[in-house]
Structure 1
Amino acid sequence: MATYNKDQIKNLLELDKKHYLHPTSSLRQHQESGPKRIFTEGKGVYLTDVNGGRYIDALASLWNVNVGHGRKELGEAASEQMGKLAYSSSFNNFSHESVIRLSEKLANITPGDLNVFFYTSGGSESNDTAFKLVRHYWKLKGQPQKKKIIGLERAYHGITIGATSATGIQQFQNMTNSLAPDFLHAAAHKTNCELGDKNDPDFARSIRGIIENEGPEKIAAVIVEPIQGAGGVIIPPNGYLEAVRELCDQYGILMIADEVICGFGRTGKMFGVDHWNVIPDVMCMAKGITSGYIPLGAVAITERLRDSLAEVSDDVLFHGFTYSGHPAACAVALKNIEIIEKENLPAHAGKMEKELKKGFEYLTENHSLVTKSRAKGLIGAFELFEDREKGIPFKPEKMAAQKLVEECLSRGLIVRAVTFGGTNIIALSPPLIINKEEIEKVISIFSDAIQEVEKSLKLQSV
């Protein structure tokens, strides 16, 4: 492990403040205090910083380090590929072996006939690509007016202009003064409405209500996360995704599944939609496809969709990124999927779900502010309420979730606060290799940290 003296650490802090504009971070806080932590090493579920501090990475960094930190075989796969062919363009129908092998592998593990793949550098690019492809499809089919995309409230789809416009979290949309047109947002998880219950008071805000109001002839696609991640780990009720699939079929609308967080074992199955046996027309992937070891995203489309595009157009597909199908990234993805399958990580995540829920029950029983816990595989969350019996949430100015996250960090645990819309949600999604003892340690740290928050907010434990 690399060691740093005080002068080296001070120099890194000052250089970071001077030269690095951090993503999704407080710029003012950064300029006042510098980086919160500077990490130097990762091993398993742990990260180590320049001061020698060791942390359980219970968010898998950004929901993505599925196979854990420090997997040398992934670095070796990249090195081997770079030694043979570091980069080659896929434009003009050029190709190379690693992208072909990865495409074959993905076709074997994705549901239904999602057997055709376009490659990107990450989730935002994947979702933007999906929007362009479905609009291009309808244009070629002689229905150019079908261009509107319906997303869900509290959904997160990325930070490019199109992806931001599809995102249903207001704070991300507020960052820009010009969003892309033709994006609509429906209330999430209104199963009765999607099944046709017009007496439901939320019908007008549902996907079906919006389709009927706008006219199905104007709607290109509906995009859903199987489980909403950044919005607060919101798991849909049984029957919801099936209802959305049936609704799209009824009105001739394409269904896009955003599997950027849920994919590659996170939920206890290879993909989130597998829990509900739903096959979308388009599926977007990133994050867990390489476990974050190298940037890569992908968009899967059905063979039917590909064949329809080929039948009606002899023109060039004027969409592509310099790093679409990057050879080294594809090689890392292949090795990463091999590890996921060899170690049976989706099944392990399903097994550890029970341990995580058991830990959440312990926190609920012993701390009066903990409520509404949930988990699917190894993505989970709980909420903090000032009075859970009366359903009284904490006021935003009390910053309950943020305080708990900081108390956890000071004790060597990295988790995330979700406070959109006045919520106080604590989210976690540890590497899929986490074991029972490590989950118990996570819960123990949570309990100690919650006690400190209770003291600061003058609350009592159960």
Structure 2
Amino acid sequence: MSSKILKQYKERITEAYKLHRKYVNPQFVRVLEVIGYDRNYVSAEGAYLTDSKGVKVLDFLSGFGVYNIGRNHPHVAQVLHEVIDAKTASLVQMDLGVLSGMLAEKLAELAPGDLDAVFFTNSGTEGVEGALKFARQASGKHKVVHCHHAFHGLTLGSLSVNANKEFRDRNTPLLPDCVPVPFNDLKALEDVFRAGDVGSFIFETVQGKGVFVPDDDYLQGVRDLCDRYGVLMIADEVQCGLGRTGKMFAVDHWGVKPDLLVISKALSGGFIPVGAVITTREIHGKIFDSMERCFAHSNTFGQNDLAMAAGLATFEILEQENLVENSAKMGELIIAGLEKLSEKYEMLTEIRGKGLIIGMQFGEPKSMALKASWKLLHKMNVDLFCQMITMPLLEKHNILSQVAGHGLDTVKILPPLMINEDDVDKFLTAMDSALKEAHKITGSAWKTVKDLGVRTAKTS
């Protein structure tokens, strides 16, 4: 039996925005149109997207970190075709799949320390929910400490450990006893731990919102405090894991072993949603502690054969193509190039990152003319300035990037781990051009963004 779906896809490719405006999320359609991101992409391969006009765009966003191995990798596609053609007995439920066992074995082999018990999920936020639930049951305590600027997902449990007001609004009350502390502040963490009622501390090893990197002594200090006060340490590496920082797991940079490790996004190879919570057999055994509790936590699709095969194929690519090492090398080149640009342009004040998760911090200029425009933009909208960088990167240089978080004045890039030196040079050249325009008070960049602020105010 043949299907008309692909034929209809090709025929209706230009209707994407119309369909989403009518049936999905009209406000997101408006956002994309206002900032000039409405490109209508029709195909993708490796580090590049192709729009309906045939223009190739260098994807330095990677689906928020999904495409570590690049888009539509042929090896993963081939493996998935082979699994489909094999007609495997997936999701029998009252049986066990060998592919899920194989992927669990691989994760246990790669994870730090004695993390060798795996629970598969469908997404990062589901993984966070599971980790919070595991930690509560294993510790016997329900208080959770999390960090300012944290992002752990948008389901209610995950949202309870997000410290961003823009996501929490209209959702309270959330889970009780979720206490925020500053990232990189061991004293504040210990002050909360002293009461003895904290069950777990959850953190992103490298924070996605703003790209904040832990101080050299921070994670070991966290590990010591968690051991001292009997608190379980949960590392959320949904975005920063699986090679993105130049190590397989970001915690490997500091030689620290968490009690629970959450991954997702890149594990999928960009094809089938999948995630995992990796923990110790001791913690796992406190949740699944009897035959009656073998389903103490479960889901329907978590161990489906296609997701498991995608995960296994992704690891084959990461290893065969040396993508973790390439991430470290390309990240060093980008950061070094950006630091040189920061010496040239006063508003680029700091570069933060590890491997290929990189944040560019902007700050108020000293020159009076630029300072006045800076203040005016921030009075109009605290997020406007970074559009002066991201919009021309896409419009003039065909490079996709993002603003890193509300009110942070940070632009963020998450390139695929398989980029090369030509891609790095293209990006740095484009950044030089965008920064040059942003530092011209009479330039088109300021006018464009001021007009954007006016249009945003009128439509909000």
**What interval of TM-score do these two structures reach, taking the shorter chain for normalisation?**
0.7 to 0.9
Indicate how the Cα distance of structure 1 residues 85 and 269 shifts in structure 2: closer, same or farther if over 3 A, else same.
Answer: same
**2:114 matched residue in structure 1:** 113
SS in 1 for 2:90: coil
Question: Is the Cα–Cα contact under 8 Å of residues 152 and 188 in structure 1 kept in the other structure?
Answer: yes
Indicate how the Cα distance of structure 1 residues 345 and 9 shifts in structure 2: closer, same or farther if over 3 A, else same.
Answer: closer
Aligned residue type for 2:399: L
- Structure 2 CA distance for aligned equivalents of residues 449 and 3 of structure 1: 40
Query: Could you tell me which of 14, 21, 35 is aligned with 2:25?
Result: 21
Question: Is the Cα–Cα contact under 8 Å of residues 96 and 327 in structure 1 kept in the other structure?
Answer: yes
**2:226 matched residue in structure 1:** 248
**Stretch moving more, 395-404 or 240-249:** 395-404
Return the offset for 1:178: 3.4
Question: Is the Cα–Cα contact under 8 Å of residues 157 and 167 in structure 1 kept in the other structure?
Answer: yes
Q: Following superposition of structure 1 onto structure 2, how do residues 38-437 of structure 1 map, counting pairs within 5 Å?
A: 38-85=40-87, 88-89=90-91, 91-92=93-94, 94-138=95-139, 143=140, 146-191=141-186, 193=187, 206-212=188-194, 215-216=195-196, 218-229=197-208, 231-311=209-289, 314-387=292-365, 396=378, 397=380, 399-410=384-395, 411-420=397-406, 422-437=407-422
Question: Is the Cα–Cα contact under 8 Å of residues 269 and 310 in structure 2 kept in the other structure?
Answer: no
- Structure 1 CA distance for aligned equivalents of residues 91 and 367 of structure 2: 59
**Stretch moving more, 429-438 or 44-53:** 44-53
- Asked if 1:11 is matched to 2:15, the reply is yes
- Structure 2 CA distance for aligned equivalents of residues 38 and 459 of structure 1: 25
Query: Could you tell me which of 431, 438, 441 is aligned with 1:446?
Result: 431
Indicate how the Cα distance of structure 1 residues 312 and 10 shifts in structure 2: closer, same or farther if over 3 A, else same.
Answer: closer
SS in 2 for 1:115: strand
SS in 1 for 2:392: helix
- Structure 2 CA distance for aligned equivalents of residues 272 and 28 of structure 1: 36
Indicate how the Cα distance of structure 1 residues 457 and 276 shifts in structure 2: closer, same or farther if over 3 A, else same.
Answer: farther
SS in 2 for 1:132: helix
What RMSD, in angstroms, separates the aligned Cα atoms of the two structures?
3.0
- Structure 2 CA distance for aligned equivalents of residues 441 and 87 of structure 1: 47
Aligned residue type for 1:13: Y
Aligned residue type for 1:70: N
Indicate how the Cα distance of structure 1 residues 322 and 247 shifts in structure 2: closer, same or farther if over 3 A, else same.
Answer: same
Return the offset for 1:439: 0.6
Identity of aligned residues (%): 30
SS in 2 for 1:150: strand
TM-score (norm 1): 0.86
Indicate how the Cα distance of structure 1 residues 131 and 90 shifts in structure 2: closer, same or farther if over 3 A, else same.
Answer: farther
Structure 1 residue runs of 5 or longer lacking an equivalent are: 194-205
Question: Is the Cα–Cα contact under 8 Å of residues 17 and 31 in structure 1 kept in the other structure?
Answer: no
SS in 1 for 2:353: strand
Aligned residue type for 2:392: E
Question: Is the Cα–Cα contact under 8 Å of residues 263 and 289 in structure 1 kept in the other structure?
Answer: no
Aligned residue type for 1:79: H
Aligned residue type for 1:301: T
- Structure 1 CA distance for aligned equivalents of residues 57 and 33 of structure 2: 24
- Structure 1 CA distance for aligned equivalents of residues 78 and 176 of structure 2: 44
Indicate how the Cα distance of structure 1 residues 34 and 56 shifts in structure 2: closer, same or farther if over 3 A, else same.
Answer: closer
**Stretch moving more, 309-318 or 179-188:** 309-318
TM-score (norm 2): 0.87
Question: Is the Cα–Cα contact under 8 Å of residues 370 and 385 in structure 1 kept in the other structure?
Answer: yes
Aligned pairs, number: 433
Aligned residue type for 1:323: F
- Structure 2 CA distance for aligned equivalents of residues 117 and 137 of structure 1: 15
- Structure 1 CA distance for aligned equivalents of residues 33 and 331 of structure 2: 39
Aligned residue type for 2:349: T
**Stretch moving more, 307-316 or 271-280:** 307-316
Q: Deviations over 1:425-454 (max 9, x none)?
A: 011110001111111101111122223333
